[in-house]
Structure 1
Amino acid sequence: MTFTKTILSLAITLAATTVMANDLPINQPEKNQWLIDSVYPTSHHNPAQTDASPIAGPSEGKVLKASDVKTIPGLFNSQPVVKNIGDQRILIEGGILGLRKINATGEKFEEISFMPYPGFEKYAEMATESELNDIVKELDKARSAHDDAAILKLSKRMQEIGFSFRTIANGVYHLIDKDHNHYAVYGGVNVIKTTDNGVADAPLSIVKTADITASLPENLRKQVTRVVGIGMTYDGDIAVAAPGMIALLDRDLNMKGYVTFPGEHVDNSIAIDETGIYAVTSENMYKVVWTGDKLSFDEKDGGWISPYDTIDAETALKMGAASRGSGTTPALMGFGDDEDKLVLISDADREGAKLVAFWRDEIPADFKQIPGTDSRRIAGEIRIDVSDLTVETSPVVNGYGTVLFNGAYKEPSSALGDIFGNMFTAGVTRLAPRGIQKFEWDPESNTFSKTWTDISTDNSDWMVPVVSAKSNMIYTPSKTGLRYEYVGLDWTTGEVKARWPMPTTSSHYNLSLGIAYFLDDGDMIVGGYFDTKRIDFNRK
């Protein structure tokens, strides 16, 4: 099909139409009319969390110059969401300390406003550009000297200015609705609604904040310690995921209902389709549906629950994982008239992670439970050869193909949940997680096959890659020595087609825990610990 030049028209490709890759039609997730009309209105690109872009990415590698990488300083962010206001392209960044609005029109990359979350003002005052630059200077010195202890010591300094295992969920998952309202989670159990009233140069202002535990019984309130995932249902409500609970709020942040799963942790976001909400806990995979008066995972209401292979939370964290149970946000596979509709995760099998697919809707009548699996709901599973323990980057889905990345630190920090220390020592003073693997689902045999494996990339940053259906390439972060880079691989064969080394070895160029995407001019937007980046791969 023909791709138009405007970002508005590109948004249409997120509907259940087709794009072309290798001359094969690929159905896309149904567009959610309650989200802003944009290519990237929500985290992971779309409600299905596929991380597949309809925009063509670059194909020719080069060493990037400083002028190719525009940056806006700020303490850790993952993925800004995108909207158009007239002819202005606006990004909203959900950072760990607050919300930043950015003008990315044409070649611009300029901050419009920054608003700390309520209660995070003191942290925001400490995490100045000067402080971040000073940390980077110390970090670069420690990395150059291969000083393991000095790198780990900086992890404590990052905690002092606001970065910790507890706060990392702030703003990572967020969205913009059709009326220019932005929603994000922060401060453990809070949801914030802000707006700019659709005015391009106006700052964001708070409409409302809500503590989702306020109306909960006391025993449940003690368990729900932090909200992690957030998404917009196809009925226009806000779904949030927290330890032991999925809740549904209206767009004014009033509680409509909740469903509980006591004792189960939630460390990832949620996927959503027209029929339900998909959430993975430390023990089970759920489909949760709204019946009109309650949330339910009962099969008689259209929901379901399925166990999967996992290990206990403390063991996983000691082995370098950042999540209890699966490390992946669920990703949906199969849209439109595709024969099979699945939801994918990586499990946390003690013997090595597996890719697991669950039937999203009714289980085919002739389907027999796979021997060794925990339930008939599991449509298929296959060992991920490149990972010993955990995959923390969500499955990237394009058609019936999916790619997963090894995220297991072989020599993790002794501190539980020390994400910063693990990322910056890996590949420098300790072994880096390496390896990416592509799988293909066969709807005829209901099985996965292994298409290709690449073990050359350094996956220390746990950054979700992006696949361009139009370019038939997948783009992933890596590191050669101390220098961060982007690598482009052929989606079909796994062949490395291009590399884009960053301008220097500076830690400013880290790509940690980001979710990348392409603007309509081919520039990439990606986050990281110290800056949000706009990367021009194509400038000669």
Structure 2
Amino acid sequence: MHRFPWVRAVRWRGALPVLIAACALPATTATAAPTAPPCGTPVAAHEPPCNPHLADSGWGASHRGSYASGASPYPGPRPADQVRWQHVQLPRSITQVPVVIDFSSAYPDGGRVAWMSTVSTPDLSAVHKVDVATGRVIDSATKPAAGTGASISGAYNLLDRDDHLFVGRARSLEVYGDARPGERGSPIAQLASFAVPQSALCGADDQLVGITMTYDGHIAFATERGAVGVVPRTLPELTAENVRSVQLNGERCTDGTPAADLEIVSNSISADEDGGIYVVTSKAMHRIQWDGRRLRSGWRARYETGTNAGGVRLGEGSGSTPDVVGTGRDRDRFVVITDGQPLMHLVLLWRDEIPAGWQPIAPGKDPRIACEIPVRFGDPTRTTSSSEQSVLTSGYSSFVVNNTLANEALFAALPPAQRRVAAALAGQDPLNAPYGMERIDWDPATRTCRSVWANPDVSIPNGIPTLSTASGLVYGQGQRLGTWGLEGLDIETGRQVLRVPASPGPDSNSLYAATAVGPDGAVWQGVAGGIDIYRGPVRPAPATRCFDLDRPRLAVLSVRGRRLSGRATDRACGAATRPLVRVVVRRGGRVVARPRTRADAQGRFALTLPARGRGALRIEAVATDPAGLRSVVRRRVLR
């Protein structure tokens, strides 16, 4: 399957002497061809493309998938449903929290399991396997801690298409799976423990934090001190020789620079189908580009990092995993975070080329920033706000929850790790709990952001919310009068329309864990020492359609007089399609022609160039397939 523009040698004929100087560059750098067959993307609104290397369950990675949107097309509980709360206690320790829950592909018997790693104090390095239908804990695996107790290393994980669980802990990638492959009730086996080489770390004290799956089947990881690497997911290729890495801190990793002066990563990462890997640090937002052979910096953009440490925030910078927003069919495509200003802002950054003519939104702002809007949760007088959760996104809509305690000064004197736990526990107190959720939309017509609604009353103190496009609700683990339970808000209005009580005890405190909509329609929530599951009626999953990873092949074949001809072919999921071909012709920086056509059944196309004139012609040919994937060839023609 081809991910790079395909260019054949050019043959020149005719009366006009023509010289073409090659300067072909893809519009966005594409990754190497994936080795897996195409996957099924659910037919639902605003669906990001499925990643064929993740578990076939619709929820195989932190924040659901490689885009890290956190949104689900699967139906969850609705206001009129009878919903049952089930608490699952994990063995060994009440302090362990499964921050991320992944769901397996279907086993031969039709059942599925949920996999999770946990963070805890003391660190148990635990992994658990739970039956989806019953909530029964099938098996657990623990071992002595390999890192420091204060790190979030191990919080993030992913489940690949072979149902192997990858967890980044300390300086290793641990891989778990079934001891008896294909058997749902099988105990857990550790399949590998891959020590990341020192060359792919930043200093002796560095540890793995974020993890995601690239669309060509590599595990991408980021460390606390800004090392970013990739390694193949297949176990025989999980070797030091196959690691590719870059250092966001460069030589500062080895020149004695104090850790406080480094760019620090405290969230997970995300990836798109064009090879972009998105990492937010305490100083800047980064796109790292993976082309199947090497990693390089795509771009770096400064955002307002602030010095807002207190409550759930432990230092400067964003508290959110970057979300990838916009698919191949969308004109505007972003990466979305919240920033670190005292009054937190939602920030959208152009993830591809900055649009031509785009001006910075304000003096001194990075031109890559498309939107920076304050999040006040419905209080126009608010001067402070913060969130330690990934932004929940669906299409051009972003949903942000408030994590600012009423009195954060109570915890200021505590060490950072203790302060974060104390703040999470205090979030259950109605007098100190955070309140508020806000929806902010990007308007592609005006290319601006606006607040759609704000609910100042809902309290989701420290959990990562999700939503179901099928049910039309945003879900989160909330407290009311000190009792935990499932909150459901209407996506369109923000009105609270669903409440399922759980427990008034600390064992239902979400402690920064993510909410997930399972493949059976139940909502799963990691909590202190276990899982809260909210089970409503089982509804059918949405239909799926093949996700086309195959870019069209574009070949400029010949110029004869003013006639430019070529071939543009595409095979989407095994079927031939006819790509649309657009050509933009410029002379002296001015557009002189914009011809377009569609390739015929054999892939041939022909277009007419402008008449002879003074100066070189710059030609950009773009072939677009039905999935919105593009191949681009740029040429300079001297006539």
2:315, 2:524 → 1: CA distance? Answer: 25
Counterparts of residues 73-472 of structure 1 (less than 5 Å): 73-74=90-91, 75-83=96-104, 84-86=106-108, 87-96=110-119, 97-106=124-133, 108-117=134-143, 119-120=144-145, 164-166=149-151, 168-170=152-154, 172-186=155-169, 188-196=170-178, 197-216=181-200, 220-222=202-204, 225-242=206-223, 243-251=225-233, 252=235, 253-255=238-240, 256-262=243-249, 263-275=262-274, 276-297=276-297, 303-312=298-307, 316-318=308-310, 320-322=312-314, 324-350=316-342, 352-372=343-363, 374-386=365-377, 388-412=384-408, 413=411, 414-415=413-414, 416-417=416-417, 418-428=419-429, 431-460=432-461, 462-472=462-472
Q: Distance in 1 between matches of 2:430 and 2:87?
A: 29
TM-score normalised per structure 1: 0.80
Bigger shift: 41-50 or 201-210? 201-210
- For residues 393-443 of structure 1, the C-alpha deviation after alignment (integer angstroms, 9 at most, x for no partner) is 111111111110111234331212322211112352862221110011111
- Higher fraction of helix: 1
User: SS at 1:179's partner residue?
Assistant: coil
Change (3 A) 1:163 1:290: closer
Q: Distance in 1 between matches of 2:499 and 2:312?
A: 28
Q: Which runs of 5+ in 1 are unaligned?
A: 1-11, 20-25, 122-161, 298-302
Take 1:347 and 1:501, find their aligned partners in 2: how far apart are those partners?
A: 33
2:129–2:140 Cα contact (<8 Å) kept = no
The one-letter code matched in structure 1 to 2:79 is: E
Q: Do the aligned partners of 1:517 and 1:525 also contact (CA within 8 Å) in 2? A: yes
Moved more, 407-416 or 482-491: 407-416
8 Å Cα contact 2:130-2:139 kept in structure 1: no
Structure whose residues are more often strand by fraction: 2
Asked if 1 retains the 8 angstrom alpha-carbon contact of 2:524 and 2:533, the reply is yes
Inter-CA distance 451–288: structure 2 relative to 1 (3 Å threshold):
same
| Higher-Rg member (1/2) | 2
Distance 2:231 2:521 in 1: 36
Conserved 8 A contact 1:27-1:336? no
SS in 2 for 1:421: helix
TM-fit CA distance, 1:326: 0.2
Conserved? CA contact 2:200–2:227, under 8 Å: no
User: What SS does the aligned partner of 1:452 have?
Assistant: strand
1:214 Cα deviation from its structure 2 partner: 3.1
- Supply the AA of the counterpart residue of 1:296: R
Partners of 1:231 and 1:270 within 8 A in 2: yes
Q: How far 1:64 moved relative to its partner?
A: 7.0
Q: Structure 1 residues 487 and 173 mapped into 2: Cα distance closer, same or farther (>3 Å)?
A: same
Q: Deviation at 1:389?
A: 4.1
Name the count of aligned residue pairs. Answer: 460
Q: Is the 8 A contact 2:88 2:135 kept in 1?
A: yes
Cα root mean square deviation, aligned: 2.4
Q: Tell me how far apart the structure 2 counterparts of residues 376 and 289 of structure 1 sit (CA, whole Å).
A: 19
Moved more, 189-198 or 356-365: 189-198
Instruction: Give, in angstroms, the shift of residue 99 of structure 1.
Output: 4.2
Work out whether residues 334 and 349 of structure 2, in 8 Å CA contact, stay in contact via their aligned partners in 1: yes
Look up the match of 2:89. 72
Q: What is the DSSP-based 3-state SS (H/G/I as helix, E as strand, rest coil) of the residue aligned with 1:508?
A: helix
SS in structure 2 of the partner of residue 221 of structure 1: coil
CA distance in 2, matches of 1:382, 1:343: 15
Alpha carbons of 1:64 and 1:250: their partners in 2 closer, same or farther (altered >3 Å)? closer
Pair 1:163–1:454, CA change in 2 (3 A):
farther
Give SS of 1:79's match: strand
Query: Which sits farther off after the overlay, 245-254 or 436-445?
Result: 245-254
Q: 1:62 to 1:29 in 2, by over 3 A?
A: closer
Task: Report the secondary structure of 1:310's partner residue.
Answer: coil
- Residue identity opposite 2:350 in structure 1: W
Deviations 1:301-336 (A, max 9, x none): xx1110000124xxx334541454100001111113
Counterpart contact for 1:515–1:527, Cα < 8 Å? yes
- Return the letter of the residue paired with 1:115: A
Alignment partner for residue 57 of structure 2, among 33, 38, 41?
Answer: 38
- In the TM superposition, residue 340 of structure 1 has moved relative to its aligned partner by 1.0
Q: Sort the Cα spacing of 1:227 and 1:331 in 2 relative to 1 into closer, same or farther, 3 A.
A: same
Residues 1:13 and 1:52: Cα distance change in structure 2 (over 3 Å) = farther
| Bigger shift: residues 400-409 or 201-210 | 201-210
- String of CA shifts for 1:30-58, please: whole Å, max 9, x gaps: 11111121111111111111111111122
Alignment of 1:519-530 (within 5 A): 519-530=518-529
Q: In structure 2, how many angstroms separate the alpha carbons of the residues matched to 1:177 and 1:356?
A: 30
Which has the higher mean CA deviation after the structures are superposed, 488-497 or 382-391?
Answer: 382-391
Query: C-alpha displacement at 1:534, in angstroms?
Result: 2.0
CA gap of 1:426–1:105, structure 2 versus 1, over 3 A, is closer
* Paired residue type of 2:131: A
Do the aligned partners of residues 163 and 304 (structure 1) sit closer, same or farther apart at CA in structure 2, a change above 3 Å counting? closer
Contact 2:156–2:168 (Cα < 8 Å) also in 1: yes
Is the contact between residue 64 and residue 501 of structure 1 (CA under 8 Å) also seen in structure 2?
Answer: no
**Structure 1 residues 274 and 49: alpha-carbon distance in aligned structure 2, compared to 1, 3 A threshold:** same
Q: CA deviation at 1:200?
A: 1.7
Structure 1's 14 and 483: CA in aligned 2 closer, same or farther, altered over 3 A? farther
